[in-house]
Each structure stands twice: as C-alpha cells, then as structure tokens.
Structure 1
C-alpha cells in the first residue's frame, strides 16, 4: 500500500505561495454589530409601507413594546444648565424604580417645536420623570431651543450621531415613549403630540401605566 505524503510548505511552488499570500482575508462582521441597523431598516420599511397605504404613522405598532429599554448610556448635553444646574444624561439604570417618559427631540425639528407646549404641561404632573434624547443636534442649539421654549426634562441625553435613536427604534422625530418602573417600554407615540392625541390617547395610556408601574400583572 502506497502512502500519500502532504507537500512540504518549503517545497511549495513560489508562485503558489505568492498567490496564497496575496489573497485578501475576509473580515467577518459580528451579527450583533449589525443588529441595530437591521432593526432600524425593518422599522423604516414598515413606516414607509404604512404611509404608502395611507395609514396614520402614529398607529404603527412598535416591536419594542413589552421589551426592555435599550441598555445605553447617554452623556449630558454640554452646558445645558437651567437655573444654573447642569442637567445630567441618563442610562437604563436611571429608569428603574420609576415611570419615565422619554421624548426624542431636536432644535431643528419643526414638529418638536409644535408639541413642546404639551410637554411643558405634562411636566407639571407628578408620578414620573421626563427624559429627553437630543437627536443629532449641537449643544448650543439645544440650549437655545430649551432656553427659549422652556425645559420640561429632568434629564437630557445627547445623541449626536443618532445611534441611541436607532437602538430605541426611532425613525422620525419627535417620538415619545412611556417606560415603566421595571425599565420596560410600555407605549410609544410616533410624531408630534397634538392637543387631541395628548388628551384622548397619550394621557389615558400614561394613567394605566402609572396604575401598574411594575407591569400589567402587578397589583
């Protein structure tokens, strides 16, 4: 019986060695890195489909409802200090133990400006904290925006590149979330709140969540 011997690398044809060395190595991108982008693309496609069908985008269900809020930490907006006190950024840990209303806004967003008086009215109520995500904005513009219209937020996190908004499933600002005391997203409103939607939809949803802050099954 004859034995087949493997070719010694030292005896390999120099041309073959050069060919092997010149082949580019393919880099594999971990799926977890691409997951937020995939989710965002899927949500954007759903949003466009609903618009094409003539449906109200504020009625589009979010895949994040009933799921934990993103585990992301956002820094404070530089120099945002109403009444001389710097507003802090936030992380998921800051949403545990209390109901949170998370509003995504920007100074350049016209609809954000239109809904702002309702956020100011909302901030006068008790039982929850108001958190802002300042989306793709410059600190000086955010300061000017809130300085002019008023600051309804207890915390404001800076999201200059929009990555946090992707994690939250945002595809058009403003958007407003209600997160319960366990850190679970219970409700999402897409687009600017109007007096009607604020009174007839948002406030009733908030009341239900305030009555069951630890989840629908809590007593």
Structure 2
C-alpha cells in the first residue's frame, strides 16, 4: 500500500503536462480555423483612418483617404523585406487581373528604392501604391505585420480584414463572399 501514492505522485506532473499541452494544442487549432482571425480588427464597419500618404511612383503626389472613395478597393499591406509578401504576391496579382475592384498597395516601413526594385522583379499588380515609411498611419489602421489585407467599401468603410498571406482559398471562401455582399448592398 505504501507504493501506490508514490506512483501517483510521480505521474501527477506528467498528467498535468499532458492536460496543459492538450489545451494549448486545442487553442492553436481553433485559432487556425478558416474565418477566424487571431486579432480581430475593431475597425470593421468603421471608416478608414484619415491619412495623407505619398504615392510610391510619384512621391510628390499625396493621396488622402477621401481620394479613394467612390469605388471599393482592396488595401494590401506589403514590404520588400517581407518573405510572406513574396509568397502572397502571385495571389494578389491573379486577383488584380480579374479587375473586380481596385487593388491598392500599402508599402509599409520600406525604402523607396527597395520597394520599386521588388515591384520591378515580381510585377506590379497595384492600381496605386501608398507609402508609409515611418509606420505612423499603420498604427491608426491597427497594422501589426505584413501582409495584411483590407476590403474597403465605396464610402471608405472597412468591411473585411485578413492577417497573413492571401491564398486562392481565402479569396474564394472569405473575400469574394464579402465582395458579393457589398455589391448586393449597392445594387452593383
């Protein structure tokens, strides 16, 4: 009888570890389910933050949030320094080629020469590229990494956000339904 409590005591830390590992694994699995975002944006349904950012290709041209109103657009945050942006770039390019809506690039914390060289190398799918070299406007958007993508309606309201690289599946399963809903609302 003296050995049973010792055996249980030896297994208790292992059992506790197994329970904690299972809970951690369940949390990771649930956070990766399609349609779930690790950090949901509080800006969904709200106007884009006010901004005045230079254009990558015409640095003297300042683009304001109000300048983009009138038609919906996809705002894609990227940087030449971002490996995941390179992974997502063919998907963004393919979607831009459909001409469903304007695709606006948001070049974040990048040197102008590096960004231009990157687009020269991989192609430029963007209707316009905004530059936020210091990252100040990114704070207002709640951007915490690249790539991130936002669907903005014609009135300048953020309708959808995706954190991480876009894939064909994400475009099909998440973005296109949001776009269809947006078009239905406006009779497009």
Kindly tell me: are residues 63 and 166 of structure 1, through their superposed partners in 2, closer, same or farther at Cα, counting changes over 3 Å? same
SS in 1 for 2:45: coil
- The one of 71, 76, 79 aligned to 1:106: 79
Distance 1:155 1:52 in 2: 41
Tell me the matched-pair count. 159
SS in 1 for 2:146: coil
Aligned residues of 1:100 and 1:179 also touching (Cα < 8 A): yes
Aligned residues of 2:80 and 2:115 also touching (Cα < 8 A): yes
Distance 2:99 2:92 in 1: 13
**Structure 1, gaps ≥5 residues long:** 1-50
SS in 2 for 1:147: helix
- The one of 61, 65, 70 aligned to 2:40: 61
Aligned residues of 1:132 and 1:153 also touching (Cα < 8 A): yes
More strand by share: 2
**2:104 corresponds to 1:131:** yes
SS in 2 for 1:200: helix
TM-score normalised by L of structure 2: 0.76
- The one of 174, 180, 187 aligned to 1:207: 180
Quote the residue 1:188 is aligned against. 161
Distance 2:62 2:136 in 1: 15
Quote the residue 1:75 is aligned against. 54
TM-score normalised by L of structure 1: 0.66
Q: Report the structure number with the largest CA radius of gyration.
A: 1
RMSD: 2.5
